[in-house]
Amino acid sequence: IPGTEREVRVFHVDEKYVWVWVGANVYTSGGIARLDKQTGQWRAWGTEYFAASGDTSRADPVYGSAADGERAVIVEDNVLYSYDAAKDTWRPIRTYDQAGPLTHEFALKGNMLYFMRGTAKKMDIDTGEESPLFSPEQLPGPNGDAFKNLEGLEFDMVHDRFILHPAYTVSLDQGTFLAVVPLNQGPIQTFPTSALAKPFGLVDVRMLDAAGTRVLLGGSASVS
């Protein structure tokens, strides 16, 4: 991939591989690369693999990329691509509803892709079948509507669960929640953001990261 020293971001690391995307700009045409940690060898896929939209000049998988071992999925120009390890190529998932763009990172575990597009969803990357991750009605209390337009989703792979947050332009006095959604269909836990109130308050709250037992939130007033 020409210009790979620029605009490179690691999006997955496991015992065997390191996956990175290379953003397209004036220096690089963009693409995906993978390091085999055992052999030290790199494998790269440039624009010739991601031309479902007809544009063969650049590939810019910035807004969505996830991997699990040899399996990987990216979104480029609003088209989802799944890596076929047996054929060493990328195939577009044609059944994906391309009316709404994916503008948030997503997670892959096995053949299941978890992502955000208005609400939290899951997709079988082999069949392209897409369905809601959960129903807002599953949330306790009167504030389930807050999760019908989600902006934050972090996958805690260690515990097989998601941390969800509603649209980030909210203030604590609106009574919104964080939610923990287990993949095993267990009960959904919710935590009111009002519990985080400080004397100066937090406004425009957004989730920055979540892993294990920790959640990092940011606001226009502070980071807590």
Q: What are the helix (H) ranges across the chain?
A: none
Both tokens of 9, joined, read 């971001």
Is 39's pLDDT higher than 60? yes
Give the strands of the sheet with 112-117, arranged side by side.
Answer: 107-109, 112-117, 119-124, 130-132
Both tokens of 221, joined, read 């007033």
Burial annotation 175-198 (CB, 10 A radius, 16+ → b, else e): ebbbbbbebeeeebebeebeebee
- pTM equals 0.76
Quote the DSSP letter at residue 64.
-
| Residue 23: half-sphere exposure toward Cβ, Cα within 13 Å | 11
CA distance 44 to 90: 12
Give how far Cα 130 sits from Cα of 71, 93, 117, 126, 137, Å: 18, 11, 11, 11, 19
Phi, psi (5° rounding) for residue 146? -65, -20
Classify burial at 203, counting beta carbons within 10 Å of its beta carbon; exposed 0-12, middle 13-18, buried 19 or more.
middle
Both tokens of 19, joined, read 């996956």
The amino acid present at 24, given as its one-letter code, is: A
CA distance 184 to 182: 5
Task: Give residue 170's pLDDT.
Answer: 46
Is 146's pLDDT higher than 80? no
Task: Give residue 37's pLDDT.
Answer: 96
CA quadruple 159, 164, 168, 173: dihedral positive or negative?
A: negative
Task: Give residue 169's pLDDT.
Answer: 45
173 CB contacts (<8 Å, ≥6 apart)?
194
Position 172 confidence tier, pLDDT thresholds 50, 70, 90? very low
Average pLDDT over residues 3-25: 88
